[in-house]
Amino acid sequence: MATKIGCFICTGCQIGQSVDIDALTTVAGEYNPLVCETSEAFCQEGGLKVIEEAITANELDGVVLAACSVRDQVQTFQFNGAIIDRVNLREGMAWTHKHGDEDTTMLAEDMIRMSFGKMQFCDLPAAETVEVHNRVMVIGGGVAGMSAALQAASRPTSATTRSPIGGGEFVRLAAPSTGRPLQKAAAGPNARARRLLSICRR
């Protein structure tokens, strides 16, 4: 559970024109964040610096970032040591609801509340060491499967196809000799081909 939370509300991309930003900061204040800041562009260098400095100065372990969709700026908003919850005020509110309407502001307020609520149940993932295998199995002996098998042939590879020759439907339709890549892929020192197999779930 995040206990030291900061809230950062973006006013750019029509967000500031669509809702009462002061009302949003008031709602955020109900949850006693250690810091609550607004900016026209948290995704830009100056805005990012505000967030990073706030995390460092207040030792934040939770960040409520009310700005654009979680699908946007994914690499930009990565802060080590803090849980980040993205509140989608841009696509989910500013670009889809009536500007200046009381209901629009109420929607944004509820989105802020929900984000603070999620912070009560979130924990940073613990570091874990897992065993990684470098073996590759390519299922399918068509053009895509053969291309993948050829690329992976320098590693321990298994190319699996139901056909006695590789090439899939391409062989039947256009090129009977396309089966040769199956033998080529299987010729590597770490590779082998399996024919006439079916993959099923147990």
pLDDT at 72: 92
pLDDT tens for the chain, 202 residues long, are 889 999 999 999 999 999 999 999 999 999 999 999 999 999 999 999 999 999 999 999 999 999 999 999 998 998 888 999 999 999 999 999 999 999 999 999 999 999 999 998 888 888 888 888 777 777 777 778 777 777 777 666 555 555 555 555 555 555 554 445 555 555 556 656 665 555 555 5
What is the per-residue pLDDT for 58? 94
* Residue 202 burial by Cβ neighbours in a 10 Å radius (0-12, 13-18, 19+): exposed
Residue pair 10/38 in contact by the 8 Å Cβ criterion: yes
- Please provide the CATH number assigned to the domain covering 5-119: 3.40.50
- Predicted local confidence at residue 175, as pLDDT: 52
DSSP state of 130: -
| Tokens 């400095």 sit on residue | 53
CB neighbour list of residue 9: distance below 8 Å, 6 or more residues apart: 15, 21, 24, 25, 28, 36, 37, 38, 39, 66, 67, 89, 112
Q: Where in the chain is the domain with CATH 3.40.50?
A: 5-119
Rg of the chain over Cα atoms, rounded to whole angstroms, equals 26
Measuring CA to CA, which residue among 46, 86, 88, 42 is closest to residue 62?
A: 86
**Residues in Cβ contact with 30 at an 8 Å cutoff, skipping those fewer than 6 apart:** 113
Give residue 41's pLDDT.
94
DSSP, res 87: E
Write the CB contacts of 196 (distance below 8 Å, at least 6 apart in sequence).
Answer: 162, 163, 164
Name the residue type at position 147: S
Q: CA-CA distances (angstroms) from residue 29 to 6, 7, 24, 120?
A: 10, 9, 9, 16
